[in-house]
Structure 1
Amino acid sequence: MRLLLCSLLLVCLTSAAESAAWQLYKAVGETRVEYRHNADKLLQVKAQTEVSATPASFLHLLEDTAHITKWAANTEKAQLLGQPDANTHLVHTYFSAIWPVSKRDMVTQSVWQQDAASGVLTMVVTDMGKHFPEVQGYVRMQQVQAKWTLTPLPNGRMKIEYHGQADPSGKLPHFIVDKVALKSLLKTFSQLQKTLPDYQRPYPGLVDAFLPAK
């Protein structure tokens, strides 16, 4: 049932902006960031890159919430609120800001699954902010939706693809929101390339046939 709900969410996320064409923000080396707006003028982004790592390293990285600032741009901290099962993580993330913009936060649930034959791992991120009290000094982000796709490649390489959106809430001009979001995403993917190799080790329950031999 959970996987069915995740599939329905992805269908809605994809169809919401099918009429808009993707536009290139920047392409730096193996990293590419694109964007478009849905019917409500909400920014949607997608990014991709290649790294010397495997899906296992990505899961270990996400669980290391104490060091989220090493790779996720503009983050202050993150707290793991719960892990209902081995494939599900509930996380509260806090974002920094430059005056006069207020700090932001979001509460999300991430559910991953893997195709055993190909080793491809997909992770669906959904908004859980309405289920938790707001924090003083932070503006709660809304409509957070995302999907990560991690595809193992030969020689210990991996392709990372991201597609997502979030409403920052508050009274912010769209051009400021878009600029910050795109710049942050590009920086995040650049830092993923540098950070993921440090987390390279097997992950319980994950098929990782592409893990390089020691």
Structure 2
Amino acid sequence: MRAMLCGLLLFSIVTSAQPADWQLYKADDVTTVEYRRSDAQLLQIRAVTEADSKISAFLHLLEDTASISNWVANSEKAELLAKPDGNTHLVHTYFSAPWPVSKRDMVTQSVWQQDAASGVLTLLISDMGEHFPPVNGYVRMQQVQGQWTLTPLGNGRIKIAYQGQADPAGKLPRFIADKVALKATLSTFKQLSQLLAQYQKPYSGISE
């Protein structure tokens, strides 16, 4: 009995430390956006969609920083700061915001790899903002983390999944920050599927 009670107590401690269950924000025939709170109470977002596209098109789109405002909601511009190797990009992204919310920016590093057997591409995003000076007029976002996963479905179709989080920083009420982030994610995914058609060409190191 004592062992059972100890086991139940341990189970309750472990489960209570897990993030909350995912909650549905919005969904349609191909796109789903969900959210939850991390242990640190940061908003985590998960989004999934499907598109008629090559995986290489996604990487070409990411590298076209001049066109970021065409698909990433609320983005002003992006600057490629460095490309240490063919799989790694260091990017500074600037975001607009409606008054009275201050503009935001973030500096991130993305590193991709493709599984040779399955063809699945994984792109990890990490925060590099603390290594660069703040920009006047912008609030530097913190604790930016994310992962993109692109999975071949056959017949020229792929599944695109994203999960990430970020601290908007500054004096921004949570309910406003959550609303902006969720709406932006849904808009971004809808634009993403449409724009990929313009980038259907081979990418060095990617097998389709």
Would you call these one fold, judging by a TM-score over 0.5? yes
User: What is the distance in 2 between the residues matched to 1:19 and 1:178?
Assistant: 17
What is the one-letter code of the residue matched to 1:120? V
State whether structure 2 residue 109 is matched by structure 1 residue 109. yes
User: What is the distance in 2 between the residues matched to 1:179 and 1:89?
Assistant: 29
User: What is the distance in 2 between the residues matched to 1:55 and 1:173?
Assistant: 37
Q: Counterparts of 1:145-156 in structure 2 under 5 Å?
A: 145-156=145-156
User: What is the distance in 1 between the residues matched to 2:21 and 2:161?
Assistant: 18
User: What is the distance in 2 between the residues matched to 1:18 and 1:205?
Assistant: 37
Q: CA deviation at 1:28?
A: 1.9
State whether structure 2 residue 167 is matched by structure 1 residue 167. yes
User: What is the distance in 2 between the residues matched to 1:50 and 1:151?
Assistant: 9
Unaligned runs of 5+ in 1: 1-14, 209-214
- Aligned partner of 1:158 in structure 2 is 158
Of all paired residues, the percent bearing the same amino acid is: 67
Unaligned runs of 5+ in 2: 1-14
- Aligned partner of 1:184 in structure 2 is 184
Instruction: Provide Cα deviations, 1:112-162, integer angstroms capped at 9, x if missing partner.
Output: 000111110000000000000110000000000000000011110000000
Q: CA deviation at 1:18?
A: 3.2
Q: CA deviation at 1:39?
A: 2.3
User: What is the distance in 2 between the residues matched to 1:196 and 1:89?
Assistant: 19
Q: CA deviation at 1:29?
A: 2.1
- Aligned partner of 2:91 in structure 1 is 91
Runs of 4+ in 1 over 6 A off after TM superposition: none
User: What is the distance in 1 between the residues matched to 2:153 and 2:165?
Assistant: 27
How many residues in Structure 1 have an aligned counterpart in Structure 2?
Answer: 193
- Aligned partner of 2:41 in structure 1 is 41
Q: CA deviation at 1:38?
A: 1.4
User: What is the distance in 2 between the residues matched to 1:127 and 1:137?
Assistant: 20
TM-score (norm 2): 0.91
Which is greater in Rg? Answer: 2
Q: CA deviation at 1:56?
A: 0.2
TM-score (norm 1): 0.88
Instruction: Provide Cα deviations, 1:22-71, integer angstroms capped at 9, x if missing partner.
Output: 00000022000000011222100000000011210000000000000111
Q: CA deviation at 1:169?
A: 0.2
- Aligned partner of 1:29 in structure 2 is 29
What is the one-letter code of the residue matched to 2:177? V
Q: Counterparts of 1:116-135 in structure 2 under 5 Å?
A: 116-135=116-135
State the secondary structure of the residue aligned to 2:204. coil
What is the one-letter code of the residue matched to 1:178? D
State whether structure 2 residue 54 is matched by structure 1 residue 54. yes
Q: Counterparts of 1:190-205 in structure 2 under 5 Å?
A: 190-205=190-205
User: What is the distance in 2 between the residues matched to 1:42 and 1:19?
Assistant: 10
